Structure 1
Amino acid sequence: MLLVIDVGNTNITLGVFEELNLKANFRLHTNTARTSDEYGLVLCDLLKAKNIRLEDITSVTIASVVPKIMHSLVSGIIKYLNITPLIIGIGTKTGIKVVTANPKEIGADRVVDAVAAYEIYGGPVLVIDFGTAITYDLITADGSFIAGVTSPGLRISADALWNQTAKLPEIEIAKPDSILAKDTVTSMQAGLIYGCIGQTEYIVKRMLHESKIENCRVVATGGLGKIIAESTNVIQVYDPHLTLKGLKIISEKNKGIK
Structure 2
Amino acid sequence: MTLTAIDIGNTSITFGLFRSTSLIRSFNIQSSGYSLVKLKAKISAKMLRDTVICSVVPDLTRRLSRDLRALSGKEPLVIGKDIKVPIRNLYRKPRQVGQDRLVNAYAASNLYGVPLIAIDFGTAVTFDIISSELKT
C-alpha deviations, 1:157-212, integer Å up to 9, x for none?
Answer: xxxxxxxxxxxxxxxxxxxxxxxxxxxxxxxxxxxxxxxxxxxxxxxxxxxxxxxx
For residues 83 and 127 of structure 1, what CA distance do their matches in structure 2 show? 33
Task: Tell me: CA distance 1:8–1:44, structure 2 relative to 1, closer, same or farther (3 Å).
Answer: same
Match of 1:69 among 45, 50, 60: 60
Q: Deviations over 1:30-88 (max 9, x none)?
A: 12x64xxx33x43332135xxxxx32432111111112222221110010121211111
Paired with 2:71 and 2:82, the residues of 1 have a C-alpha distance of 27
Runs of 4 or more consecutive aligned structure 1 residues displaced over 4 Å after TM superposition: none
Aligned position for 2:49: 58
User: How many residues are treated as equivalent by the alignment?
Assistant: 135
Question: Secondary structure at the residue paired with 1:73?
Answer: helix
1:16 lines up with 2:12 in the alignment: no
Asked if 1:102 is matched to 2:93, the reply is yes
Aligned with residue 43 of structure 2, among 47, 50, 69: 47
Q: What are the residue-to-residue correspondences of 1:51-200 with 2, within 5 Å? A: 54-89=45-80, 92-145=83-136
For the Cα contact (< 8 Å) 2:56–2:99, is it kept in 1? yes
Is 1:27 matched with 2:23? Answer: no
**What TM-score, normalized to structure 2?**
0.89
Contact (CA 8 Å) 1:90, 1:104: kept in 2 or not? no
* 1:7 alignment counterpart: 8
Once the 2 structures are TM-superposed, how far is the Cα of residue 13 of structure 1 from its aligned partner? 0.8
Unaligned runs of 5+ in 1: 49-53, 146-258
> C-alpha separation between the residues in 2 aligned to 1:30 and 1:91?
22
Alignment CA distance shift 1:111-1:104 (3 Å): same
Query: For residue 162 of structure 1, what is the aligned residue in structure 2?
Result: none
Q: 2:113 corresponds to which letter in structure 1?
A: G
Does the 8 A contact of 1:118 with 1:125 survive in 2? Answer: yes
In structure 2, the CA distance between the partners of 1:91 and 1:23, relative to structure 1 (3 Å rule), is closer
Largest Rg, 1 or 2: 1
- How many Å separate the matches in 2 of 1:100 and 1:126? 15
- How far is the alpha carbon of 1:105 from its aligned partner? 2.1
Gaps of 5+ in 2: none
Q: State, as a whole percentage, how many aligned pairs show the same letter.
A: 33
Q: Is the 8 A contact 2:29 2:38 kept in 1?
A: no
1:102 Cα deviation from its structure 2 partner: 2.6
CA distance in 1 between counterparts of 2:94 and 2:103 reads: 14
- Indicate the RMSD between aligned Cα atoms, in angstroms: 1.8
TM value normalised by structure 1: 0.49
- Structure with a larger share of its residues in helix: 1
Do the aligned partners of 2:8 and 2:31 also contact (CA within 8 Å) in 1? Answer: yes
